[in-house]
Amino acid sequence: MIKLIYIVGLTILLMISFSSCEKNKDGNNSNSKCFSEELKISCESQGKVCINKNCVEKKLEEDLCKDFVCNNGSCVIENNKPICKCNENYHEINKTCVSNTKKIKCKDVAPENASSDIIDVDTDPNSIDTPKRLAKMYVNEIMSGRYNSSPSVTAFPNTIKDGDEEEVYYDGMLITRCPITSVCSHHHQPIKGEVFIGILPEKKVLGLSKYSRIVDWVGRRGILQEAATIEICNEIMKVAQCEDVAVYMEATHGCCENRGIKLANSLTQTARLEGCFKDSESVRSEFYSQIQLSKMGK
Closest CA to 169 of 201, 123, 142: 201
Give the nearer residue to Zn ion in terms of CB position, either 158 or 182: 182
Closest residue to Zn ion in the complex (CB): 255
Give the nearer residue to Zn ion in terms of CB position, either 48 or 187: 187
Give the nearer residue to Zn ion in terms of CB position, either 180 or 255: 255
Q: Assess 227 for contact with Zn ion (CB under 5 A).
A: no
CA 207 – CA 151 distance, rounded (Å) = 12
CA 214 – CA 226 distance, rounded (Å) = 16
Report helix, strand or coil for 20.
helix
- The CA-atom distances, in angstroms, between 179 and each of 74, 193, 210, 234 are 36, 6, 13, 18
Q: How far is the CB of 28 from Zn ion (least distance, A)?
A: 46
Q: Which one of 10-18, 185-193, 222-230, 280-288 is the stretch in contact with Zn ion (CB under 5 A)?
A: 185-193
Q: How far is the CB of 259 from Zn ion (least distance, A)?
A: 8
Q: Assess 186 for contact with Zn ion (CB under 5 A).
A: yes
Q: Which one of 1-9, 141-149, 177-185, 206-214 is the stretch in contact with Zn ion (CB under 5 A)?
A: 177-185
Q: Assess 187 for contact with Zn ion (CB under 5 A).
A: yes
Give the nearer residue to Zn ion in terms of CB position, either 84 or 218: 218
Q: Assess 184 for contact with Zn ion (CB under 5 A).
A: yes
Give the nearer residue to Zn ion in terms of CB position, either 140 or 268: 268
Q: Which one of 59-67, 186-194, 243-251, 279-287 is the stretch in contact with Zn ion (CB under 5 A)?
A: 186-194
Q: How far is the CB of 105 from Zn ion (least distance, A)?
A: 24
CA 16, chain centre distance (Å): 27
Is residue 115 within 8 Å of residue 121, measured between CB atoms? yes
CA 18 – CA 25 distance, rounded (Å) = 11
Q: How long, in residues, is the chain?
A: 298
What is the contact mask toward Zn ion in residues 134 to 173, using x (rule: CB under 5 A)? Answer: ----------------------------------------
CA 12 – CA 18 distance, rounded (Å) = 10
Residues 254-293 that bind Zn ion (CB under 5 A): 255
For residue 267, give the H/E element and its range: none
Q: Assess 228 for contact with Zn ion (CB under 5 A).
A: no
Report helix, strand or coil for 162.
strand
Number of residues that bind Zn ion (CB under 5 A): 4
Give the nearer residue to Zn ion in terms of CB position, either 222 or 275: 222
CA 30, chain centre distance (Å): 25
- The CA-atom distances, in angstroms, between 174 and each of 13, 115, 200, 236, 286 are 27, 52, 6, 13, 11
Binding site for Zn ion (CB under 5 A): 184, 186-187, 255
